[in-house]
Amino acid sequence: MNQYAAMARSHWQRFLPSRYSAITDPDSFFSTLGQEVETEIDQLTEQLAGEDPPNEDYLGKVGRLNAARQQAREKVLAERVLLPAEPGSLMDEDSTEANPTPAGERNTDWIPMTEDPTNLWWQEQDSSSP
């Protein structure tokens, strides 16, 4: 099982539970999916990279090929692996919808980058300091 198969399996278990439970042989399914995704990424990378331009230096070629690979990976993963979540499935842990802050409690995951005395976060800091 390659990295794309493992990524798909983890994503589908978490965000597509009904689709995942319908798979009769998950090991075989995700191994095949991972191989197909890897092949598609390789083929799309070649298409996106195109021909070597004249007088391209080594670093220019490395950058062009890496950019093409990342574009191909992003496109194929979105289409085949990282599918949108099913309604009612677990939401992303970082999502505010999944972890709403109860009324009256301060969300400590975010701290303003600049000090602004009118910002509620800074006002709370001033009032809590001895």
Per-residue pLDDT tens digits for 80-122: 999 998 887 765 444 444 444 444 455 555 655 666 677 676 6
Token pair, residue 57, equals 């230096």
Tens-digit pLDDT profile for residues 18-59? 999 999 999 999 999 999 999 999 999 999 999 999 999 999
b/e per residue 35-57 (b: at least 16 CB within 10 A): eebbebbeebbeebbeeeeeeee
Element (H, E) at 120: helix 120-128
Boundaries of every domain in the chain: 3-81
Residues 5 and 33 sit within 8 Å (Cβ to Cβ): yes
- Nearest-angstrom CA–CA distance, 27 and 6: 10
Q: Does residue 123 have a pLDDT over 90?
A: no
Q: Write down the pTM of the prediction.
A: 0.67
Q: Does residue 68 have a pLDDT over 90?
A: yes
